[in-house]
């Protein structure tokens, strides 16, 4: 998705006011970008506010477009390990291992789409403990999958 940063002014003849429109932050959850509008009685006021907005709004970068999933996970775990206990870091390491098993480690992060991430979450299964059967995996419910990703208390 293209992230827009433009701020535009135009005169609305019906309202007899100047409208200032600009794009806000991109929300990765909804995959949408908010669009704002404010009206002014004079063009000069609208231009002043536009100058202030252009100064305040920082372009939202998606990050380095050449970063691979492997390097992003490594950087994340290094930063995470500094702030959390070893056991918590090990739990997150297990989730990162699952992620790298599902996606190739050299995949560029910006190429992973929302549908791919959802497919990864749906693919999570639990291994049976202590049961020697041909099928060693159990499909899990959405709540268990969510718990495994956030809390990771039900890992293999």
What pLDDT, in 10s, does the model give residues 134-153?
A: 455 666 666 766 666 665 44
**Helix (H, G, I), strand (E, B), or coil: what is residue 25?**
strand
Q: Which long-range contacts (CB under 8 A, 24 or more apart) does 71-78 make?
A: 72/109, 73/99, 73/100
Q: What is the pTM of this model?
A: 0.46
pLDDT tens digits along 102-142:
888 888 888 888 888 878 877 776 654 444 444 556 666 66
Least confident of 10-19, 33-42, 63-72, 138-147: 138-147
């Amino acid at each position: 998705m293209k992230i827009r940063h433009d701020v535009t002014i135009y005169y609305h003849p019906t309202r007899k006011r100047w409208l200032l429109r600009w794009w806000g932050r991109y929300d990765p959850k909804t995959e949408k970008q908010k669009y704002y509008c404010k009206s002014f009685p004079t063009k000069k006021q609208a231009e002043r506010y536009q100058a202030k907005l252009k100064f305040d709004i920082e372009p939202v970068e998606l990050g380095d477009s050449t970063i691979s999933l492997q390097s992003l996970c490594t950087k994340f775990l290094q930063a995470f390990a500094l702030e959390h206990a070893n056991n918590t870091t090990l739990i997150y390491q297990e989730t990162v291992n699952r992620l790298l098993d599902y996606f190739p480690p050299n995949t560029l992060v910006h190429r992973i789409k929302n549908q791919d991430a959802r497919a990864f979450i749906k693919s999570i299964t639990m291994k049976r403990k202590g049961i020697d059967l041909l099928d060693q995996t159990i499909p899990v419910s959405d709540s268990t999958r969510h718990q495994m990703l956030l809390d990771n208390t039900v890992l293999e």
